[in-house]
Structure 1
Amino acid sequence: MGNVYASTAPPPLTTVPEPPPAPVAPTEPEESKSRLTTLEELHKKCKDIFPMPFDGARIVFNRGLSNHFQINHTASMSSMQPLASGYKFGATYVGSQIVGPGEAYPVLLGDIDPSGNLNANMLCQFHPRLRTKAVVQIQDSKTAGYQVSNDYKGDNYTASVILGNFDPVTFSGMSIFHYLQPVTPTVDLGAELAVQFGPQIPDGIISALSVAARYTSPNNFILSGTFSPHQLHACYYQKASDQLQYGVEVDTNIKMRESYAKFGYQVDLPKLDATFKGSISSDFGITGVYEKKLAPLPLVLTLSGHIVHGRNPLYRFGIGLTLG
């Protein structure tokens, strides 16, 4: 980042040292490429700060068997979600194909319970520009659903093709096409085309087109939205400081004339090794999740609470402990 010049004799008085070259501002394509994402990640910054509540008790034990392989055991009890209660065994494998800081491929992860119900995920990068993701769910010895997506990253755009629950016998399923491109240093524009086909659908096929936009401000806030003739989904994300982030999510069904809004925030407390996420929704719901590292032990304590006020009140509280 700098140069040091040494000489055995001072330069002549008439010589004026040249100033170091000024840093070159990144060009528009470089700035756009630094924030290049897929349309699926359009609202990711905002959604990541919202808490994920749970109820009952949960214990997770993680153990790394090598630099690439890790297993975990999960035992949970829930009165609101009895199907999620019980024991699950999980495994994660991360390959040695390193493509960036903290990014390596392939990634294989999944979990299974004693009844044989399986959730499996695969993430591979066969080419520097092409990434493939696959998700499979097996319930009661039957394939409950699967999805395969391919993301292509160009020089200044991303394109994705997603295929879900495709049945070649009945020729039914769903296809989704994504496209997102930066058009200015702060604005991204894109589109989504969803196509569902099958014999049970009138005329055999139905499609829906929506457009997407995202504004990334130099002042650490992001405004994103997807728009269709029947639905509007918008998010606002703001990073106020290194410790505080907050955002707002609004989902409006124009055809049904219904709207749902949620405000969320995340507070990081580095001195306490703790993180708190909270949210307030338009249906009078209040949610909070607190995570605390119990140093020097390899333990993480999680406290969760979710309350919905109204005619049918709902109260959910949970406590979790993660080892390893």
Structure 2
Amino acid sequence: MVAHFLQSLTHRLVLGGELVYHRRPGEEGAILTLAGKYSAVHWVATLNVGSGGAHASYYHRANEQVQVGVEFEANTRLQDTTFSFGYHLTLPQANMVFRGLVDSNWCVGAVLEKKMPPLPVTLALGAFLNHWRNRFHCGFSITVG
């Protein structure tokens, strides 16, 4: 059984929680998670805290072209902590969008999207490198429409 409750205390602040109750033969338990979100004009911050760990995120829109975000996640069960940084750069004169991410697990990724006006076509190129596992992925896509 899962129960959620979120309440806007002000137009910028939202607080709430989630209760998960499970029961199986020989096992029964409940997990409580508390959540909060604060929104400003150009940024949003969130925080979730529970017995399984914590998750925090921050998103900032610097201007029409630049957006950045960070994320922190700590899992007490797996004893693992991850930190991520991402960005979104829009170049309207070139009809391009560039997105990328870096995290504490030695993963680096980027995607470049180029619209091809006057045609309704978008070309995307992406690459992701995981240094820890020595893996590299790359690809491309063509979107029509």
- What is the TM-score with the length of structure 1 in the denominator? 0.43
Pairing partner for 1:192 from 18, 24, 32:
18
Letter aligned with residue 116 of structure 2: L
Task: Describe how 1:212-251 pairs up with structure 2 within 5 A.
Answer: 212-218=35-41, 220-251=42-73
Letter aligned with residue 69 of structure 2: G
Task: Describe how 1:167-178 pairs up with structure 2 within 5 A.
Answer: 175-178=1-4
Are 1:209 and 2:63 matched, yes or no? Answer: no
C-alpha distance in 2 between matches for 1:275 and 1:195 = 43
Partner residue in 2 for 1:313: 134
Pairing partner for 2:102 from 276, 280, 283:
280
C-alpha distance in 2 between matches for 1:243 and 1:216 = 20
Q: 1:177: how far off?
A: 2.1
C-alpha distance in 1 between matches for 2:98 and 2:142 = 16
Are 1:297 and 2:119 matched, yes or no? Answer: yes
C-alpha distance in 2 between matches for 1:236 and 1:222 = 6
Letter aligned with residue 298 of structure 1: P
* Partner-residue secondary structure (3-state), 2:111: strand
Letter aligned with residue 55 of structure 2: H
* Partner-residue secondary structure (3-state), 1:271: helix
Aligned residues: 145
C-alpha distance in 2 between matches for 1:272 and 1:194 = 48
Partner residue in 2 for 1:181: 7
Structure 2: tracts of 5 or more residues without a match: none
Structure 1: tracts of 5 or more residues without a match: 1-174
The structure richer in helix per residue is 1
Q: Which has the higher contact order (CA 8 A, sep 6+)?
A: 1
Task: Describe how 1:135-146 pairs up with structure 2 within 5 A.
Answer: none
C-alpha distance in 2 between matches for 1:207 and 1:289 = 40
C-alpha distance in 1 between matches for 2:57 and 2:35 = 12
Q: 1:186: how far off?
A: 2.6
Letter aligned with residue 286 of structure 1: V
- Structure with the greater alpha carbon radius of gyration: 1
* Partner-residue secondary structure (3-state), 1:295: coil
Q: 1:304: how far off?
A: 0.7
**CA distances 1:46-87 after superposition (whole Å, capped 9, x unpaired):** xxxxxxxxxxxxxxxxxxxxxxxxxxxxxxxxxxxxxxxxxx
Q: 1:207: how far off?
A: 2.2
Q: CA RMSD in A?
A: 1.6
Pairing partner for 1:264 from 77, 80, 86:
86
- What is the TM-score with the length of structure 2 in the denominator? 0.91
Identity of aligned residues (%): 30
C-alpha distance in 1 between matches for 2:22 and 2:93 = 50
Letter aligned with residue 35 of structure 2: A
Task: Describe how 1:107-118 pairs up with structure 2 within 5 A.
Answer: none
* Partner-residue secondary structure (3-state), 2:20: strand
* Partner-residue secondary structure (3-state), 2:93: helix
C-alpha distance in 2 between matches for 1:217 and 1:298 = 35
